[in-house]
Amino acid sequence: MTRKCWMLALYLTLAIALTGCLPPAHQGGLLPGDENMYWLTDGFDFPVGDPDGGGWDITGYRFLQWSAYSNSYHPGEDWNIPGAGNGDQGKPVYAVANGEVVFSGWNTALGNIVLIKHAISPTEFVWSQYAHLDQRYVDKGERVYRRQPIGTVGRGPNDTFAAHLHFEMRKVDLPANAWPRTNGAAWDASRVTDFWLEPSLFINQNRPQ
């Protein structure tokens, strides 16, 4: 290539850089549409205790256990420090995975609730819900990371319950106050599993690698 051609190429490169016409990736920015992509999960941890749930257990209702209190199948797990009574009130509750907060608010039946949407692939989603919280640390629209404190263990509305975390994993986008009943009639267990996942089983099957 002649010296004249080299100079022309150099001038063109400088002109493009100065006018900002380089592709976005070369400007250190995002490619079009990247800013709207869901934050993919990198695995799931437990919502209380250490990442393995150490020091805590399901001391209340388990998944699909018949609840005499609600007269329905229980769609989640009730986590507590064994023998602590109300001693675990105020203990931290963690996001189980990267995700986006889709609800953070109060419900007359469940008290303070945080509901998080998780992308396990660009087209597959699950939702985690944390109820009976004493405090909520996150707001709707926030992106959270795995093990980020999102609230504290509470006792539900008007201290209705002994302190514990009511925790759900959902396979369907449901309202925050969803419960497996229709007009007061409980759903059968098979229908519950069309909408809810067994939390501990799902987490153990999807631990960080």
What are the distances in angstroms from CA 56 to CA 46, 70, 165?
10, 24, 10
Domain 57-205 superfamily per CATH: Glucose Permease (Domain IIA) (2.70.70.10)
**pLDDT for residue 37:** 52
What would the 3-class secondary structure string for the chain be? CCHHHHHHHHHHHHHHHHCCCCCHHHHCCCCCCHHHCCCECCCCCCCCCCCCCCCCEECCCCCCCEECCCCEECCCEEEECCCCCCCCCCCEEECCCCEEEEEEEEECCCEEEEEEEEEEECCEEEEEEEEEEEEECCCCCCEECCCCEEEEEECCHHHCCCCEEEEEEECCCCCCCCCCEECCEECCHHHHHHHEECHHHHHHHCCCC
Domain residue extents for the chain? 3-28, 57-205
- The model's pTM is 0.82
pLDDT tier for residue 23 given thresholds of 50, 70 and 90: very low
pLDDT tier for residue 103 given thresholds of 50, 70 and 90: very high
Question: For residue range 159-208, what is the model confidence (pLDDT) as tens digits?
Answer: 999 999 999 999 999 999 999 999 999 999 999 999 999 999 999 999 99
**pLDDT for residue 28:** 32
Question: For residue range 44-87, what is the model confidence (pLDDT) as tens digits?
Answer: 999 999 999 999 999 999 999 999 999 999 999 999 999 999 99
